[in-house]
């Protein structure tokens, strides 16, 4: 099986690829590996939805794959999803896509404009390790939330459980190319007034690596 792994930054997947074999350059930002009998291409897009969408579209247009995996970290709005938890994001949306009508934010879906702002993974791969992860709903943002007022507003609008800066862009690219995919993330922090001291980044990366290798081992 040929698998594309997409990550925003190298540190998010360094613990995962440490166990892979035979790295080779497959193209700009793409390294090729083997693991568990699979050919794996790793694409590091850079941070943000624009970079992710552009690089995913380029790579998927050039190479056929059997499975796409987006691996990274995220913040949690849901108090039941503690830092360190690995989740499977099955629905995602571009939370900032819309217009301001004075004090009111109108999501793009309310404007009758042609745009797929809400994305659903209707046919995730059947994988024992993936199925064991909590399935959650996410939002993708350009600005990570760190203000009590904006956090309350986005929770009221969309009731998200997690947020990232890339997830919806990856999902959109896979849907366009009809590629089976999964967005898998580890919670590094609670979404709150910014407090780096409470983050559990090391735990998140360790648990993400374990989950990702288990998923690959069950493909």
Res 111 pLDDT > 60: no
Helix axes 167-176, 49-62, angle to 10 degrees: 30
User: Which residues are CB-neighbours of 132 under 8 A, at least 6 positions away?
Assistant: none
Res 131 pLDDT > 90: yes
CA 106 to chain centre: 25
This prediction has a pTM of 0.92
pLDDT for 114: 46
Structural domains of the chain ordered from first start: 2-217 (3.40.50.1580)
C-alpha 145/C-alpha 149 separation (Å) is 10
C-alpha 192/C-alpha 197 separation (Å) is 12
State pLDDT tens for residues 21-30. Answer: 877 888 899 9
pLDDT band at 19 (very low <50, low <70, confident <90, very high): confident
pLDDT for 21: 87
């Amino acid at each position: 099986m040929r698998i594309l792994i997409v990550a925003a930054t190298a540190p998010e997947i360094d613990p995962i690829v440490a166990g892979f074999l035979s790295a080779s350059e497959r193209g700009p930002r793409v390294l090729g590996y083997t693991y568990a009998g699979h050919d794996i291409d790793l694409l590091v897009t850079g941070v943000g939805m624009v970079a992710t969408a552009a690089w995913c579209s380029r790579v998927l247009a050039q190479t056929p794959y059997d499975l796409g995996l987006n691996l990274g970290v995220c913040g949690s709005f849901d108090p039941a999803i503690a830092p360190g938890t690995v989740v499977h994001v099955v629905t995602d949306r571009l939370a900032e896509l819309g217009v301001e009508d004075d004090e009111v934010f109108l999501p793009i879906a309310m404007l009758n404009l042609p745009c797929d702002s809400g994305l659903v993974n209707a046919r995730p791969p059947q994988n024992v390790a993936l199925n064991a992860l909590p399935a959650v709903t996410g939002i993708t943002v350009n600005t990570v939330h760190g203000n009590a007022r904006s956090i309350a507003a986005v929770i009221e609008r969309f009731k998200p459980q997690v947020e990232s800066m890339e997830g919806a862009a990856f999902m959109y690219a896979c849907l366009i190319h009809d590629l089976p995919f999964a967005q898998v993330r580890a919670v590094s922090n609670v979404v709150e007034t910014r407090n780096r001291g409470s983050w559990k980044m090391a735990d998140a990366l360790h648990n993400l690596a374990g989950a990702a290798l288990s998923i690959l081992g069950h493909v």
